[in-house]
Amino acid sequence: MRHTISVLVENKFGVLARVAGMFSGRGFNIDSLNVGPTHDATMSRITAVLNGDDHSLDLCIKQLRKLINVVEVIDFIEGAAVTRELVLVKVRADSRSRPEILQIKDIFRAKIVNLTQDNMVIECTGDDEKVSAFLGLLEPFGILELARTGRLALKR
């Protein structure tokens, strides 16, 4: 089963390694892992999307809460969080394919962040399904490079 976990931690050396080690030690496959600062410069938020069973997840959350430098742990139930993902995609775009790519970009409310004679870099944000659908439509044009953040989440 897929779980989204948010861990608020103090900005201290080795915290990320301990949290990731806890996930892998409990047998979870980490689908995505994001870490970034919060509005408080002394704290960071780790957002992880994990695959595993509910019982193992409960034990993992209990152990996470006991870790040094962990302030808060939240397991987001489906629909209890606002989730977003960001993708930057460099796609082949010659003069013939460019109008169709621009139409796809407009449908998904994406932005062009770089443009050259033969390719463009497009930024798209949304939930997992939106980002995957966007990439699926761009694939026939030739994706040259891709960077995808994975899921970020905040409680509603």
Do 57 and 101 fall into the same domain?
A: no
Residues of the domain holding 88: 82-155
Do 69 and 128 fall into the same domain?
A: no
Q: Which tens digit of pLDDT belongs to each residue from 93-149?
A: 999 999 999 999 999 999 999 999 999 999 999 998 999 999 999 999 999 999 999
Last residue of a domain, one of 50, 76, 102: 76
- Which helix H or strand E contains 150, and what residues bound it? none
Last residue of a domain, one of 76, 104, 134: 76
Pick the residue with more confidence: 3 or 77? Answer: 3
Q: Taking CA 154 as the corner, what is the angle to CA 151 and CA 156, rounded to the nearest 5 degrees?
A: 130
Q: Cβ atoms within 10 A of the Cβ of 27, count?
A: 12
What pLDDT score does 77 carry?
78
Do 10 and 57 fall into the same domain?
A: yes
Do 7 and 71 fall into the same domain?
A: yes
